[in-house]
C-alpha cells in the first residue's frame, strides 16, 4: 500500500503502518477516553482516561495484527509466504505471495483470522473479572468485546471479507472458482450498499461520526469487492500462460553510443515499440524507453548518447521466461512500467514482454472464452 511506513518484522513478516492508521488510532482513543471508559469507571481523572484510551487503541491494533498473523501463519503451513502485513484505517491486510489454488487451503487461511480473534476474545474475557473495578479490568473487557466484534464482522459472508472467502471456498467445489467468486463479490456489493444506507440513516438520526464511519467502511468494501473480481477475471484469462509463450523474441536492440536523436529517428519513429534493450555487443546493459527519452531536453538530443538516458540493467525490471503471465502483469503494475526484459538464468536476454502483449492475450481469451483449450 502506498503511504506506509515500515515498523519492523515479526516472525519473518514485514509489518507496516499506513498513514490512515493514525486517523483510526486517534478516533478510537478519543471515543474510549471521552465515552466508554468514563461511563464504566467514573471518578478518574482525564489523564487516566486518555492513558487508557491510547492503550486501548494500541492494543486494539495489536489484536488486528494478531488476527492477520493468524492468516499469515496458516498460509505458511500451505507453503504460501506473506510479503507484509499492513495496518490501516479499517484494520489490517496480510499480503500473501500468491492465492491458494486449492479451496481447502483457501478455507483454512480465511478461517484462521476470525478463529484467532475469537480465541483471543475468549482469553481476554476470562482474564477481565480478575481486574474488575480498576482500569486494567475495563481495558481487558473492552478488548475482549473488540476482538469478538472483529471476528463477527469479518465472518460476514461477503467478499473480500474473511467470511466471503470461506463461503467462496465452500462454493468453489461445486460451482468452480469463477462462479463462486462472482456470487461472493456480488454479496460484497450488497453488504457494502447496506452499510452505506445504514450510514446515511445514522447521519440523518444525528449520529454523524458513526454514519460517516459506516459509509467509509461500505465504500472500502465495495472497492475491495470490485478489485477482487477484476483480479480473478485477469487471473482466469491468463491461466496457464507463461512469459515465454507471449514474449517478443525478435527484439530490436540499440547500441549504447547511439545519440538520442538517432534513436528517435531510427527506432522510436520507425518501429512500433515504446522501449528498446541496449546491447553492448552481446551484452545487455540496459533498456531505454520513450519515458527515458522525454527526460532529456530536446536541444540536447544530438549530443546525448543513449547510455546516459537508459535505465541500467541493474535497475531495469526483468522477468524469467518461466514466470506466469499474471505475475509478470502484477510486477509491471507494481513497478509502474510498461515492459519487462525477459532474462534467462544465465542473465542472457531472450525476449521482451509488454503490457500490450498481455492485454492482447487477455482480450483474445476473454472474447473467445470456452473455445480455447486451457
Residue 157 makes contact with Zn ion by CB under 5 A: no
Q: What angle do CA 327, 333, 336 make, to 5 degrees?
A: 135
Q: What angle do CA 52, 22, 136 make, to 5 degrees?
A: 15
**Shortest distance in whole angstroms from residue 84 CB to Zn ion:** 15
Q: Which is nearer to Zn ion, 118 or 323 (CB)?
A: 118
Q: What angle do CA 196, 202, 208 make, to 5 degrees?
A: 100
Q: Which is nearer to Zn ion, 56 or 113 (CB)?
A: 113
Q: Which is nearer to Zn ion, 94 or 241 (CB)?
A: 94
**Shortest distance in whole angstroms from residue 94 CB to Zn ion:** 8
Task: Using CB under 5 A, pick the residue from 53, 56, 113, 163 that binds Zn ion.
Answer: 113
Using the contact rule CB under 5 A, the part of the chain among 108-116, 240-248, 312-320, 336-344 near Zn ion is 108-116
Q: Which is nearer to Zn ion, 162 or 292 (CB)?
A: 162
**Shortest distance in whole angstroms from residue 13 CB to Zn ion:** 15
Give the span between the Cα atoms of 240 and 324, in whole angstroms: 7
**Shortest distance in whole angstroms from residue 110 CB to Zn ion:** 7
Using the contact rule CB under 5 A, the part of the chain among 49-57, 113-121, 131-139, 343-351 near Zn ion is 113-121
Give the span between the Cα atoms of 149 and 153, in whole angstroms: 6
Residue 261 annotated to the active site: no
Counting residues that bind Zn ion (by CB under 5 A) gives 3
Contact 325, 245 (CB under 8 A): yes
| Per-residue x/- track, 198-237, Zn ion (CB under 5 A) | ----------------------------------------
- Long-range contacts formed by 68-72: CB under 8 A, 24+ apart: 68/92, 68/93, 68/94, 68/113, 69/10, 69/11, 69/13, 69/94, 69/116, 70/112, 70/113, 70/115, 70/116, 70/117, 71/96, 71/109, 71/110, 71/112, 71/113, 71/162, 72/11, 72/13, 72/96
Give the span between the Cα atoms of 36 and 21, in whole angstroms: 21
Q: Which is nearer to Zn ion, 181 or 202 (CB)?
A: 181
Residue of closest CB approach to Zn ion? 113
Q: What angle do CA 198, 204, 206 make, to 5 degrees?
A: 105
Catalytic residue among 68, 261, 303, 371: 68
Q: Of residues 30-49, which lie at the interface with Zn ion (CB under 5 A)?
A: none
SS3 (DSSP) at 47 = helix
Task: Using CB under 5 A, pick the residue from 162, 222, 292, 357 that binds Zn ion.
Answer: 162
At 283, list the grid cell: 551484452
Binding site for Zn ion (CB under 5 A): 113, 154, 162
Catalytic residue set = 68
Amino acid at each position: 500500500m502506498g503511504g506506509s511506513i515500515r515498523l519492523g518484522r515479526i516472525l519473518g513478516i514485514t509489518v507496516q503502518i499506513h498513514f490512515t492508521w493514525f486517523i483510526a488510532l486517534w478516533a478510537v482513543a478519543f471515543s474510549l477516553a471521552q465515552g466508554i471508559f468514563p461511563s464504566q469507571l467514573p471518578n478518574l481523572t482525564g489523564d487516566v482516561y486518555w492513558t487508557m484510551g491510547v492503550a486501548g487503541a494500541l492494543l486494539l491494533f495489536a489484536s488486528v495484527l494478531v488476527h492477520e498473523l493468524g492468516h499469515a501463519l496458516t498460509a505458511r503451513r500451505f507453503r504460501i509466504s506473506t510479503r507484509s502485513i499492513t495496518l490501516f484505517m479499517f484494520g489490517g491486510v496480510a499480503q500473501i505471495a500468491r492465492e491458494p489454488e486449492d479451496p481447502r487451503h483457501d478455507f483454512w487461511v480465511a478461517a484462521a483470522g476470525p478463529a484467532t480473534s475469537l480465541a483471543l476474545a475468549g482469553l481476554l474475557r476470562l482474564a477481565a473479572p480478575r481486574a474488575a473495578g480498576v482500569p486494567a479490568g475495563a481495558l481487558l473487557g473492552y478488548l475482549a468485546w473488540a476482538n469478538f466484534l472483529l471476528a463477527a464482522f469479518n465472518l460476514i459472508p461477503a467478499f473480500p471479507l474473511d467470511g466471503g472467502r470461506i463461503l467462496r471456498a465452500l462454493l468453489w467445489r461445486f460451482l468452480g472458482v469463477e462462479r463462486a467468486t462472482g456470487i461472493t463479490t456480488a454479496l460484497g456489493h450488497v453488504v457494502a450498499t447496506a452499510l452505506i444506507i445504514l450510514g446515511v440513516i445514522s447521519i440523518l438520526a444525528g449520529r454523524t461520526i458513526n454514519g460517516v464511519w459506516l459509509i467509509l467502511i461500505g465504500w472500502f468494501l465495495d472497492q475491495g469487492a470490485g478489485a477482487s473480481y477484476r483480479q480473478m477475471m485477469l487471473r482466469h484469462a491468463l491461466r496457464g500462460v507463461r512469459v515465454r509463450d507471449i514474449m517478443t523474441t525478435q527484439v530490436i536492440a540499440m547500441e549504447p553510443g547511439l545519440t538520442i536523436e538517432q534513436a528517435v529517428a531510427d527506432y522510436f519513429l520507425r518501429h512500433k515499440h515504446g522501449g528498446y534493450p541496449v546491447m553492448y555487443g552481446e551484452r545487455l546493459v540496459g533498456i531505454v524507453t520513450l519515458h527515458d527519452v522525454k527526460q532529456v531536453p530536446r536541444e540536447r538530443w544530438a549530443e546525448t548518447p543513449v547510455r546516459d538516458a537508459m535505465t541500467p540493467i541493474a535497475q531495469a525490471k526483468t522477468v524469467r521466461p518461466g514466470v506466469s503471465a499474471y505475475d509478470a502483469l502484477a510486477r509491471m503494475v507494481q513497478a509502474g512500467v510498461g515492459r519487462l526484459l525477459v532474462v534467462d538464468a544465465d542473465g542472457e536476454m531472450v525476449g521482451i514482454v509488454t503490457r500490450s502483449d498481455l492485454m492482447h492475450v487477455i482480450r483474445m481469451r476473454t472474447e473467445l472464452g470456452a473455445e480455447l483449450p486451457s
